[in-house]
Amino acid sequence: MRVLIVKMSSMGDIIHALPAVSDAADALPGIQFDWVAEEAFLEIPTWHQNVNQVIPIALRRWRKKPWQATLQQHEVKRFYKQLRQQHYDKVIDAQGSIKSAVITRLSHGYRVGMDKNSVREVFADLAYQEKFSVPRKQHAINRVRQLFARALGYPLPASSPYYGIAKNRLHAVKLELPENYFVVVPNASCPMKCWPEASWTLLLEKTKQAGIPVVIPWGNEEERKRVMRIRGNNPSVTVLPFLCLSEIASVLSQAKAAVCVDTGLGHLTAALAIPAITLYGSTDPYLIGTVGPSQIHLQALDHQTISVETVWQALKGQL
């Protein structure tokens, strides 16, 4: 059986779908998966050994640069050709949005997804030939696992989610990293999810006094500048150079523990089975929080009010 997964973004959402692939691979030996993902996240599905091909799409870039019409027209034609090249036994829309429903409708195969009461956006279900009810008030990982089990016809496993990330598929980082380091992830695409810089600086002072080396990744120039301000003159903190997502995953996979804001790298940390503390504001971690061994969620409606001492005590518990 050959299946196409439509789950384009965001990073956390794509990671949430990996355990369903593991379930299906265990239940249906020989099943093959292709995956449609945003170009910024196309590396993630490739880390799972049961994903054969990733079809990149650039909707985010196309929306941001509409003036590049000629280039976009060429890219859209190439994407459509790749999408239609293979006939699939099942095409699963694991996202349930209008944009993912459109891509599902354009694909070449039997289209399945959640019903009108379960999809993320109204009318997305009109793209599917078969629809399934998947209750909303549960974690996103459970919802995708249930959808796959029903769509592909196997019993839903009672086991904990297994992300299936093969570490040998990650790009090794050619850097000299300190031993027994912690990773700090202070940046998020949404500024409202960021913890105050002063709080990070105080936390890093505590890690320095405890003799804990810390490394910090970043993804763009604005994030790099913020990380440099947070580090200050702290010699125990290593600011990483710009790394691709697979290289960041490799750094995370070797960490002793992590402290993260509510962002995709937090979910990646959990998927790699690294102990972590994640700081949440209005986001409900019960529905979309990190899932994995030794995951601690610290939440306050205004998460900027979470105290440094609270985070430090939770972090010491991971030592």
What's the CA gap between 26 and 275, in Å, rounded?
26
**150 and 63 part of one domain:** yes
**205 and 299 part of one domain:** yes
**109 and 180 part of one domain:** no
**191 and 303 part of one domain:** yes
Question: What are the pLDDT digits (tens) for 87-146?
Answer: 999 999 999 999 999 999 999 999 999 999 999 999 999 999 999 999 999 999 999 999
**189 pLDDT above the threshold of 80:** yes
On whether the CB atoms of residues 39 and 59 are closer than 8 A, the answer is no
Average pLDDT value for residue range 271-297: 96
87: domain CATH number? 3.40.50.2000
pLDDT of amino acid 152: 98
**182 and 149 part of one domain:** no
Domain enclosing residue 129, as ranges: 2-165
**72 pLDDT above the threshold of 70:** yes
**66 pLDDT above the threshold of 80:** no
**Domain boundary at 110, 139, 165, which?**
165
**Domain boundary at 106, 140, 165, which?**
165
Would you place residue 69 in the very low, low, confident or very high pLDDT band (cuts 50, 70, 90)? low
Average pLDDT value for residue range 249-258: 97
What's the CA gap between 153 and 27, in Å, rounded?
9
**Domain boundary at 105, 135, 165, which?**
165
**191 and 63 part of one domain:** no
What's the CA gap between 242 and 224, in Å, rounded?
9
E-strand spans in the chain?
Answer: 2-6, 32-38, 51-57, 88-93, 109-114, 130-132, 182-185, 214-216, 237-239, 257-261, 276-280, 295-299
**70 pLDDT above the threshold of 80:** no
On whether the CB atoms of residues 164 and 271 are closer than 8 A, the answer is no
Average pLDDT value for residue range 281-285: 92
pLDDT of amino acid 275: 97
Would you place residue 302 in the very low, low, confident or very high pLDDT band (cuts 50, 70, 90)? confident
**98 and 148 part of one domain:** yes
What's the CA gap between 263 and 289, in Å, rounded?
10
pTM of the full predicted structure?
Answer: 0.96
**67 pLDDT above the threshold of 80:** no
- CA 143, 20, 10, 227 dihedral sign is positive
